[in-house]
Amino acid sequence: MISKTILNSKIQFNKNDDFSYKVQNLNKIISDYNVKPFLKWAGGKGQLLREIEKQYPFHDYNIKKYVEPFVGGGAVFFDIINKYDLEFIYISDTNNDLINAYRTIKYNKLDLIKLLKIMEKEYLNKDKEHRKKYYLEKREKYNDIKIKGSNEHNVLKASYLIFLNKTCFNGLYRVNSKGLFNVPMGTYKNPQICDEKNIIAISDKLKRVKIECADFKDSEDFIDENTFVYFDPPYRPITKTANFTAYTSNEFNDNNQIELANFVKKIDKKGAKFVLSNSDPKNTDDEDDFFDDLYSEFKIRRVDAKRMINSNSKKRGNVKELLISNF
């Protein structure tokens, strides 16, 4: 267990600390390091990234800003900050714990790494039975912090989120109707819980990024004709049974999809360039024209993707997804 000293006070570092010295040395070599998502995220765009990359408008238009209002695991965001030097970047999500993790990496990377290293060592040194007990203890502590809603232990909460993500079933983030994380432990034999170099590199790249826990509509003031916006909202369920209680305790239903489409049309009139991804209803119903009608004035491409998360491995496979853009 993590000691009460770590739980209730800020971790202290000094210049004679071997850990601090190592981090300082790492800082010197990360300028050209390609960062990657620090979480595995349901609906993450890692496997669709090459298709989305083909839609980047940076070379053909005067794009100076990037906005991503549903950042999630950030596969597209990290790809873009690896490749382009932009004047302004804004990311947001309504998942407060996710945004807290981004902010913790930005402002408190040393505290976070220290906690993750402790948990990594403790977890990997246990057998399967004791790993499960340890996992459930950390899940309970994480939910306790969530229930209290205090900002006092934000670094600890971020460390628990990353630990649980690296050790839970299929890297899934799911909460129940009360907003409590309820995913069981996974079966990874030797998970990398603390990717120290990646966290340090991300922290460096986040220095000029505005990070907000906010609704997608709150991004409007940051969007103009020099902005590229990528939208990756909670997907419309392909089947009626696919709508598991997911990333926040709030549902993103068809009315929200329509609200988002109206917002997209508003930023299109401002001259911004956008790409939006979503599930293709025609995977299961050829007559379902929901998105074709909703985005009829824009370009709609159907691309191959893999359904990566399903409790039944036989039901994971190729599906079509939509990439919608105004250029």
Q: Which residues of 235-261 are buried (b: 16+ CB within 10 A; e: fewer)?
A: bbebeeeeeeebbbeeebeeebbeebb
Counted residue by residue, the chain has a size of 327
138-148 tens-digit pLDDT? 999 999 999 99
42-94+214-327 CATH choice from 3.30.465.10, 3.40.50.150, 3.40.50.2300, 3.40.50.360: 3.40.50.150
Most confident of 4-18, 100-114, 294-308: 100-114
Average pLDDT over residues 23-47: 78
Residues 6+ apart with CB under 8 A from 71: 77, 91, 92, 93, 98, 102, 232
* pLDDT tops 90 at residue 94: yes
* Region 69-93 average pLDDT: 97
**What's the pLDDT at 261?**
98
Please, which pLDDT band fits residue 10 given cuts at 50, 70 and 90?
Answer: very low
Question: What pLDDT does residue 291 have?
Answer: 98
CA distance 259 to 214: 15
Please check whether residue 264 is in contact with residue 276, taking contact to mean a CB–CB distance below 8 angstroms. Answer: yes
Q: How confident is the model at residue 11 (pLDDT cuts 50, 70, 90)?
A: very low
Q: Name the residue ranges covered by the structural domains of the chain.
A: 42-94+214-327, 95-197
Q: Is 1.10.1020.10 the CATH number for 95-197?
A: yes
Task: Indicate if 95-197 has the same CATH topology as 42-94+214-327.
Answer: no
